[in-house]
Chains A and B, each alone.
Chain A
Amino acid sequence: MTGSTCDRAALVEALFDGRLGPSERTSTERHLKTCSECAELLRDLTSLQEMLRSSTSTISPLDHQRARLALLRETARPSAAKRRPVALLIAGLVTLPLAVWASASMFSPLRVREMKPVPPAATVASSTALPVASSPQADEDQEMAAPGARDTASMPAPPAPSSFIMRRHPTSRAHNAPVQKAAPSASAQELSQASVDFAEAMKALSRGDFSASAIKLDRFVRTHPGDPRVEEAIYLSAIALERDGRSTEAKEAARRYLIAYPDGAHRAQASRVAGD
């Protein structure tokens, strides 16, 4: 039974949402005892909410740590313009031929101008620096605006490069990893050097140059022992070595990881590489 005919159905839903005053609540609760239709509505609302909540997928602790690290890494990027070179490249590669094709075939110049800056959905929002502040208000739903959109026009750019990522081990609270700490008085110069070194190692890794990546990661670990990305670097060096076909060295690196971070976010993968 869905279309409630009882005129108190709205009160039942309001009761469910906790927006009734004490006296209304009492009378509605009393009504529920006598009206089977309203009792059914309340049961439906309750089980609907339970089902909605229980079918929410969960994320593994490993994926959580990965996502967290990716986020913090993103804040450490030097500038917004350099934020997503890969995403921008893909967006460009996909959009440009389409736009060219479109202009050559059937779109008026005006239409093409409108289309051109639109990358696929997967990358569009991420390639804009300040999505909230620059959001056009000509939305289908005028009442919709980001929380604080009024105030964000003069929002400061993110502080470049964040010193935070260097100061705090991003996963330390989660698994109390024994991290080798450098003196906390590292200068800003050193900090940004760590970011550059790490980025280079990641770049080599992402272009499939595993040998170079392994060298860079190893150098990163030795040069910046107190950096919070050391855990990630040791793990990735094991992966890079494995991909490079150097299984003995990969095993060594994976074991080194497991000894330093017995509860680390990548322990499962590291154990696999280590062959334990």
Chain B
Amino acid sequence: MSPRRRPDESRAERLAQATDTELFDGMAQGDLGPLGELFDRHHASVRAFAERMLVDSADVADLVQETFLTASRAAASFQSGAAGKPFLLGVAAQLIRRRRRSFARLRTMLEALGRTPMAPRPTPENDLLEREEAKLLDAAVARLAHAHREVILMVDVGGLSGVEAAKALRIPPGTVWRRLHEARAELRERMKRRLR
């Protein structure tokens, strides 16, 4: 008899070696085992994206969790052979759009009632962001139009290719390139003399 291994140890190893497609396939068949592995692989990217897309930084952890939960339920629609990150960022982008619509409605209501809306996103208390230029960049990114921010965060921060970002956002690649160009031009303008 071969040396016995703990069943979950070999399972964890198997998961660690599985491709993103295999993880999604498992989830599509109702096995949520691969979800933890998928989280380990991609949570940092989803988080980085959410941090800059959301109005309220307190929502980030919640959105990251929701992204993975939604992805696990939508696993059947994952395209075989694709990478997991574009799919997850696409889910996150959609969830953020939903929140944004709701937030806009709430804000309209509160304004109509003479109340101040929720406070704007505070600057994250990250050491790196203490640097003036990083703060400036952060503010500049926050001021980008939503659709521009989505694209530049996916490509320049998330490392997605333009085609992957187009797929994730269900927009034509040409639209991605155009938005990316406009977003970069705006950031360059705002960050003038501070680059390099």
Contact = CB atoms under 8 A, between A and B. Distances in A.
A212 to B, nearest CB: 27
B18 interface: no
A70 B67 CA distance: 13
Given A17-B180, A135-B94, A120 B106 contact: yes
Interface string A11-32: 0011001110000000000000
A59 B44 contact: yes
- Chain B interface size band reads 35 or more
A148 interface: yes
A147 B86 contact: yes
A2 B189 contact: yes
B184 A48 contact: yes
A151 interface: yes
Contacts of B196: 43-44, 47
B128 A146 contact: no
B188 A2 contact: yes
Nearest to B133: A51
B102 A118 contact: yes
Contacts of A157: 73
A6 interface: no
Contacts of B129: 55, 57
Contact of B63 (A17, A125, A165): A125
A139 interface: yes
Interface majority SS on B: helix, strand, loop or mixed?
helix
Contacts of B162: 17, 19
Interface in A116-153: 118-122, 124-126, 128, 130-133, 135, 139, 141, 143-152
Contacts of B106: 118, 120-121
Interface residues of A, number: 82
Interface in A23-66: 43-45, 47-49, 51-59, 64
Interface in B35-78: 35-36, 39-40, 43-44, 47-48, 51, 55-56, 58-59, 61-66, 68-70, 72-74, 76-78
Interface string A98-130: 100110011100000011001111101110101
Contacts of A139: 97, 101
Contacts of A64: 40, 43
A81 interface: no
Contacts of A158: 32, 69, 72-73
A152 B78 CA distance: 10
Contacts of A82: none
Interface stretch (A167-175, A192-200, A267-275): A167-175
B134 A155 contact: no
A67 interface: yes
Interface of A: 2-3, 10, 13-14, 17-19, 43-45, 47-49, 51-59, 64, 67-68, 70-72, 74-75, 98, 101-102, 105-107, 114-115, 118-122, 124-126, 128, 130-133, 135, 139, 141, 143-152, 155-159, 162, 164-165, 167-170, 172-174, 181, 184
